[in-house]
């Protein structure tokens, strides 16, 4: 990461959310984001006046709902370079990941029983893969390098004659690392293996194009990029056709692949969040990256005098992600001191007796950092220069307090 720009070069967001001054500064955008007021505005009518069921085909309420769903499907498809028929609405990325992994596995039993994924995947991919292992499937969990990147040549070596699916996330939820989707997709296409990516953290933040990146299935969720919780989608390629076995059975909605009454307001919100995110993407990423670099500039060892390490690739990562390990600090005490002032996540799971690295940080192969405090910052659309400078000051003060030091 480069040197932080001067304050005069970083502008605050043109749209600010109303906030109680006593609320903590929110820097946990990888966990969730607030609904953008522009997204909420298009959703509200479908909670009130236009409340129809999109499956009701005999009256105007149902027609209006169905029209809104199909328009949203078209908008979402356009945002990722797909066609509307390739979008299946789900309750979020977890359901989409389960449908992709289990649905493909069941549909392609005759081809083989092997899946390839990566050790740093989200639990919503790792746990369905472990479930498939319980059904006698073979799963290869590829390692990553010390920067969090998968080796494409190693992936090529892992693909076997019975491999059905490769599942590799677009952007990591802890360290923000962006995997080389286009290279992975091209390899999978050449080897005639389906490629699924969990794009929950990437959608709306980095360019995604299912054809250019050779993606066969892609999972997304709205609440990571200023849309509502409880809604997501799975892109499923039609040409060449990808088959799925449904995991929910019922009324046959979503081409029979995902039954259940569609939540029209949330679907409309998802599509608006994608459209808005793509329209703002370039300028927003520049601003957020500048804030991220400013925070790192405050904290990095040559300026803070503390032993702090950056986790993940310094450049090939989400603009708003900063994940650090801090030596000689009690993570639980540091977070306790900060929680009334700053909302952020620890990269570790702490207990009363021990601190353990998350599976993502452990996969980076830095065992010497296990005793360190790990912090994940998710900088978002509505953060300001003052948020960053105040956070840096509070963190440095907390880390220098005797109670936080080991």
Residues belonging to the active site: 350
308-310, strands of its sheet edge to edge:
308-310, 321-326, 373-378, 345-346
Closest CA to 359 of 141, 97, 131: 141
Concatenated DSSP letters of 73-128:
HHHHHHHHT--GGGEEEESSHHHHHHHHHHHHHHHTTTT-SEEEEETT--HHHHHH
Angle, vertex CA 277, rays to CA 272 and CA 280, nearest 5? 125
- 266 with 286: CB under 8 angstroms? no
Q: Are 203 and 274 in contact (CB under 8 A)?
A: yes
SS3 content of the chain, % helix, strand, coil (to 5): 40, 15, 45
Cα atoms in the 13 Å half-sphere on the side-chain side of 185:
20
Total residues found in the chain within this entry = 406
């Amino acid at each position: 990461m480069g040197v932080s720009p001067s304050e005069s070069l970083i502008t605050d967001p043109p749209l600010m959310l109303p906030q109680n001054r006593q609320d903590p500064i929110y820097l946990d955008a990888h966990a969730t984001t607030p609904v953008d007021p522009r997204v909420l505005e298009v959703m509200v009518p479908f909670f009130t006046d236009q409340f129809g069921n999109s499956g009701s085909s005999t009256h105007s309420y149902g027609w209006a709902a169905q029209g809104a769903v199909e328009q949203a499907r078209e908008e979402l498809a356009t945002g990722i370079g797909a066609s509307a028929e390739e979008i299946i609405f789900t309750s979020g990325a977890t359901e989409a990941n389960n449908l992709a992994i289990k649905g493909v596995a069941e549909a392609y039993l005759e081809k083989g029983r092997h899946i390839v994924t990566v050790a740093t995947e989200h639990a919503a991919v790792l746990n369905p893969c472990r479930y498939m292992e319980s059904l006698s499937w073979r799963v290869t969990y590829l390692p990553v390098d010390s920067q969090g990147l998968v080796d494409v040549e190693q992936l090529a070596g892992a693909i076997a004659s019975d491999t059905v699916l490769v599942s590799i996330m677009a952007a990591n939820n802890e360290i923000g690392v962006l995997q080389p989707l286009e290279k992975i997709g091209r390899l999978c296409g050449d080897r005639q293996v389906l490629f699924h990516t969990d794009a929950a953290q990437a959608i709306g933040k980095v360019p995604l194009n299912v054809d250019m990146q050779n993606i066969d299935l892609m999972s997304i969720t709205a609440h990571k990029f200023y849309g509502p919780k409880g809604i997501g989608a799975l892109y499923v390629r039609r040409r060449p056709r990808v088959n799925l076995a449904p995991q929910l059975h019922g009324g046959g909605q979503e081409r029979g692949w995902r039954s259940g009454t569609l939540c029209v307001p949330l679907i409309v919100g998802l599509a608006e969040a994608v459209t808005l995110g793509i329209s703002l993407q370039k300028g927003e990423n520049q601003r957020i990256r500048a804030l991220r670099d400013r925070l790192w500039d405050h904290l990095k060892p040559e300026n803070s005098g503390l032993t702090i390490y950056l986790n993940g690739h310094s450049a090939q990562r989400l603009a708003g992600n900063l994940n650090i390990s801090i030596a000689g600090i009690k993570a639980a005490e540091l977070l306790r001191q900060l929680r009334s002032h700053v909302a952020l996540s620890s990269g570790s799971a702490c207990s009363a007796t021990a601190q353990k690295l998350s599976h993502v940080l452990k996969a980076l192969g830095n065992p010497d950092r296990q005793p360190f405090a790990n912090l994940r910052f998710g900088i978002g659309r509505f953060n300001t220069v003052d948020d960053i400078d105040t956070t840096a000051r509070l963190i440095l003060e907390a880390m220098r307090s005797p109670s936080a030091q080991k």
